Chains A and B, each alone.
Chain A
Amino acid sequence: KNEVEQSPQNLTAQEGEFITINCSYSVGISALHWLQQHPGGGIVSLFMLSSGKKKHGRLIATINIQEKHSSLHITASHPRDSAVYICAVRLGGGADGLTFGKGTHLIIQP
């Protein structure tokens, strides 16, 4: 059974701080997603990656396939970044649905 572990579970930081959220998984995957879930429940897909690094605005996502580890970074954090960030993996072997981590609840204080 694939486990997707995220850390930290909760994170409170001051506006402007550099944020790192980590994700580890236990089996081979074909892709990893970083998602953002706001209090209302809606989910936004931030990144999908299978190798290397991607950047979008103040967000950076990296993945190390050999170490089965990914990180999501937020630079110059802002209160509007407050949300739950979820790591999800798509297993290899043709399985399409995602397996999710429990999420990291991020609060950025002004």
Chain B
Amino acid sequence: GAVVSQHPSWVICKSGTSVKIECRSLDFQATTMFWYRQFPKQSLMLMATSNEGSKATYEQGVEKDKFLINHASLTLSTLTVTSAHPEDSSFYICSASPSGRGETQYFGPGTRLLVL
């Protein structure tokens, strides 16, 4: 089946630093990638939809200047958490859709971020 990787799998950083998370589709081209966030004991929440070659679409309440998304190629999307704060500590998961319409989504293994 289709494989999506994320790197790093976990990261600990100091408050105020920026953290970049990569999401790659390994064996298919993904015109659309999605970024989700999950706080402890809560459901996953869509943060943004990323289309290759265009600006990401952010969900209400997600700061686009804080969570920078770049989808420069059909196999790679990156999420950069800028000036991270402890409240940004969460589990970040990406998914990729080969069809471009989100009907089939393959999930990455997730990245645990802890901001001290």
Contact = CB atoms under 8 A, between A and B. Distances in A.
B54 to A, nearest CB: 13
Tell me whether chain B's interface is mostly helix, strand or loop, or mixed. Answer: strand
Contacts, number: 56
A97 B36 CA distance: 9
Contacts of A98: 34, 36, 44, 46, 95, 102, 105
Given A31-B103, A97-B59, A98-B105, 20 more contacts: A30-B103, A40-B109, A41-B91, A42-B109, A42-B110, A45-B106, A48-B103, A48-B104, A90-B103, A96-B32, A96-B101, A97-B34, A97-B46, A97-B102, A98-B36, A98-B44, A99-B46, A100-B43, A101-B43, A102-B42
Contacts of B32: 96
Interface residues of A, number: 22
Interface string A74-105: 00000000000010101000001111111100
B112 interface: yes
